Amino acid sequence: MSNLLSPANKVVLYMGNEAIARGALEAGVNVACGYPGTPSSEVVESLSKVTTERNLYVEWSTNEKVALEVAAAASFASLRSLCVMKQNGVNVASDFLLHLTASGTRGGLVLVTCEDPGALSSVNEGESRYFARMLEIPLLEPATFQEAKDMTKWAFELSEKIHNVVMLRSVTRLSHASGNVICGRLPAKNSKAHFDYSGSMMDPLRGPVVSTPVVPKHTIQQKKLAETANLFEKILCNYYEGPKKPELLVITSSACYLYSREAIGMLGLQKRVGILKLGSTWPLPPQLLKKHLKAAGKVLIVEEVLSFLEENVKTLYAGCAKEIGVKAFYGKNDGTIPSVGELNPDIVAAALGKIFRIKYKPVADDYAHAMQEIEKIIPLRQQTFCAGCPHRASYWNINAALKLDGRAGIVCGDIGCYTLGALTPANGFNTVRTSHSMGSGTGIASGFAKLDAFGLKNPILSVCGDSTFYHAAIPALINARHNNANLTMIVLDNSGTAMTGFQPHPGLCSGASGETLPAIDIAEIARGIGAEVAICDPFDLEKTTAQLTTFMEKADTVKVLILRQICALSPEKKGKKKYLMKVNEELCRGEECGCNRLCTRIFRCPALVWDKVKKKAVVDEVICAGCGVCYSICPQKAITKTEAPPQ
């Protein structure tokens, strides 16, 4: 049984994302949906495992906007719903979110955004706290695992109180770390969906759900938000700890609260510094802020990414400065806290050190020196494709086709493991020239392909993953076709949302909870749009390269090449080798003219190792996934493959 179903009062070790999921279950959530994205995926994933027990509908939606629409429908039908995404997912959902916050909601709707300061597994350091302020909805930021659960549960109640979306923001260090949580009660399962639209347009619970009349509804929304600010004055997740009259007040939230507390301890400043820890960061509770600002002469705001909290605190302070006196503010705006990247206790300690003129060294000198010495001898570990990764073979083919074509084709990239194709030849394949948001590669390619009239004659290509294809690339492909932007789109179809952990997508015949669903074929969609379509196995190098060069030469239509091969780490493939690979040392020419280490110098599968002593390539059997591609590239046929015994 999933530990998400643990009984009340039991202490359970939950990952932050599981704590959020448990909170939703304790709130009696009926619908949970989202689009996978690190560090958010485990919320929906863990809920997908308890659908039967908790009378829950869980889906991986096509993209974040659709996910929010699905969640909104449940809310309109008076059910509670949870919608989960990563920071940039909120951007995708934001158009609908603007209108949803204007129309209002019924059943509690909580939008969970798990964000990635420092871009540990993102190509952006985006932040969605500003959406809460811009769209005038409450924003909650739990700091601990217990809070993650408790605040999620409470967010549903708040949502129903104000008839609007409540946003709950987590960060990587909360979502992906684990801690003890005391479970609450799981409610009875007796929800019934009912969508009432018989009332007047102004009736939030019985009228049609629309954002018009805009101004009156906007007025109500703002009134509810003001009520929320009052409510936030007294909630348990906003609290102060420290001396009555601190020299410095730290205002913080989220994981930064823990960093701040630790940093104060490290510098022994417990008697001089107080912390105002906020669990609700929009709207700010004015009285609580005023009271604590008044008590201290100096104020440090500790937060990650942008200076959202700092700006809001300063705005609020400006309104009461006359009353509470002059304060010195420290934070991102004056450079005390770095304005990019993740924070940690050392960074906060360094900031406190600056203010209190305490020399702070995170590690002793000899330790730092030893670290420097060790760094010189630690082998460089580069980001690269896994052993057996279809993308390595795909880029091998794409590269060959580009070179053979000889017209400097431009490849526009997209979001997935294959973004590594933008890296230098040593790591990725130095093939991808642009990389932005999901689906954008094909949109940009569509634009490039229309620039031939201005002298940009290069063939234009885009790469796009299978999940990305459904998520946002289809409108771009339609755009290309309709506008005669005759690009070649390469769909790197590895049969799942691989980078985030093999969540299913519309191309597969199973849903989030393993239920059977109709699969929607990429080739059929592309053909329906009018593209010329071919499907190749990227491991078949000769055929794939030939198909791609043929496509690049066809200037009169949009081409879609689907490169289909399951991810090496997928549950159906992982640990199962198709071939046993071996290097015949007698045939291996190593560094000689005629080979010059093609496999370990250019192809660079992690399973191929260069034996410096023997001067031969070696297959690391432990790492090798048995895909057999190196057999095809070896000019000497020194790499042999034999069918692996069935497992």
Partner 1 sequence: MRQTRKLSSQELLKKNVLDAGLCTGCGACVNLCPYQVIYRDRTVQLHSCDLSDGKCYAFCPRSSTDLSVLRKSLFPQADVTPEIGVVKGYYLSRAADSNLRERAQHGGTITALMELALAEGLIETAIVSSSERQVNVPVAIKSKDDLLQNSQSRFTVSPTVATFHEIAAENIAKIGVVATPCQALALAKIKTYTDKDASLKKDKLKLVVGLFCGWTLARDKFTELLKMNNIDESAVVGMEIPAGKGILEIYTPQGNRTIPMKEVENCIREACRYCVDSTAEYADVSVGAARFGNDWEEMRKWNQLIVRTEAGSDLIDLAVARGVLEIKEAPSEILKELKKAALEKKKVAMKNIVAKSGRENNLLYLNSNDSLIKGLLKRSGRKK
Give the binding site for partner 1 (CB under 8 A): 399-400, 403-404, 406, 425, 549, 589, 591, 593-596, 598, 602, 633, 635
Q: For residues 315 and 596, which CB has a smaller minimum distance to partner 1 in the complex?
A: 596
Min separation Cβ 458 and partner 1, Å: 16
Min separation Cβ 639 and partner 1, Å: 12
The total of other beta-carbon atoms located within 10 Å of residue 361's CB is: 12
Min separation Cβ 641 and partner 1, Å: 18
Min separation Cβ 135 and partner 1, Å: 51
DSSP codes, 191-207: --------S-TT-TTTS
Q: For residues 507 and 628, which CB has a smaller minimum distance to partner 1 in the complex?
A: 628
- CA angle at residue 525 from 523 to 528, to 5 degrees? 105
Q: For residues 618 and 633, which CB has a smaller minimum distance to partner 1 in the complex?
A: 633
Whether 468 and 64 have beta carbons less than 8 Å apart is answered as no
- In a 3-state reduction of DSSP, which class is residue 320? coil
Non-local (6+) Cβ contacts of 382 within 8 A are 426, 427
Min separation Cβ 12 and partner 1, Å: 53
Q: For residues 226 and 408, which CB has a smaller minimum distance to partner 1 in the complex?
A: 408
Q: For residues 359 and 612, which CB has a smaller minimum distance to partner 1 in the complex?
A: 612
Backbone angles phi, psi at 411, to 5 degrees: -105, 120
Min separation Cβ 363 and partner 1, Å: 37
- Encode 9-54 in three state secondary structure: CCEEEEEHHHHHHHHHHHCCCCEEEECCCCCCCHHHHHHHHHCCCC
Whether 139 and 280 have beta carbons less than 8 Å apart is answered as yes
Q: For residues 193 and 541, which CB has a smaller minimum distance to partner 1 in the complex?
A: 541
Whether 61 and 34 have beta carbons less than 8 Å apart is answered as yes
- In a 3-state reduction of DSSP, which class is residue 267? helix
Min separation Cβ 554 and partner 1, Å: 15
Q: For residues 593 and 613, which CB has a smaller minimum distance to partner 1 in the complex?
A: 593
Min separation Cβ 586 and partner 1, Å: 12
Min separation Cβ 542 and partner 1, Å: 12
Q: What value does the CA radius of gyration of the chain take, rounded to a whole number of Å?
A: 28
Whether 275 and 242 have beta carbons less than 8 Å apart is answered as yes
Q: For residues 54 and 589, which CB has a smaller minimum distance to partner 1 in the complex?
A: 589
Q: For residues 10 and 407, which CB has a smaller minimum distance to partner 1 in the complex?
A: 407
Q: For residues 346 and 540, which CB has a smaller minimum distance to partner 1 in the complex?
A: 540
Q: Which of 163, 182, 269 is nearest to 221 (CA)?
A: 163
Min separation Cβ 598 and partner 1, Å: 5
State the Cα–Cα distance between residues 211 and 26, nearest whole angstrom: 31
Backbone angles phi, psi at 463, to 5 degrees: -115, 150
Min separation Cβ 537 and partner 1, Å: 20
- In a 3-state reduction of DSSP, which class is residue 410? strand
Non-local (6+) Cβ contacts of 187 within 8 A are 26, 27, 28
Residue 145's Cβ-side half-sphere holds a number of Cα atoms within 13 Å equal to 19
The 8-class DSSP code of residue 485 comes to: -
Whether 301 and 254 have beta carbons less than 8 Å apart is answered as no
Min separation Cβ 602 and partner 1, Å: 5
Q: For residues 8 and 426, which CB has a smaller minimum distance to partner 1 in the complex?
A: 426
Q: For residues 406 and 475, which CB has a smaller minimum distance to partner 1 in the complex?
A: 406
Q: For residues 75 and 549, which CB has a smaller minimum distance to partner 1 in the complex?
A: 549
Residue with tokens 């929304």: 221
Q: For residues 514 and 594, which CB has a smaller minimum distance to partner 1 in the complex?
A: 594
Min separation Cβ 424 and partner 1, Å: 12
CA-based end-to-end distance of the chain: 28
Whether 64 and 128 have beta carbons less than 8 Å apart is answered as no
Q: Which of 258, 267, 264, 289 is nearest to 276 (CA)?
A: 289
- Cis geometry, peptide bond prior to residue 117 (ω within 30 degrees of 0): no
Question: In what helix (H) or strand (E) does residue 85 lie, and over which residues does it extend?
Answer: strand 81-86
Whether 90 and 131 have beta carbons less than 8 Å apart is answered as yes
Q: For residues 220 and 400, which CB has a smaller minimum distance to partner 1 in the complex?
A: 400
Q: Which of 249, 259, 273 is nearest to 330 (CA)?
A: 249
State the Cα–Cα distance between residues 464 and 340, nearest whole angstrom: 29
Min separation Cβ 546 and partner 1, Å: 10
Min separation Cβ 383 and partner 1, Å: 20
- Cis geometry, peptide bond prior to residue 459 (ω within 30 degrees of 0): no
Whether 4 and 49 have beta carbons less than 8 Å apart is answered as yes
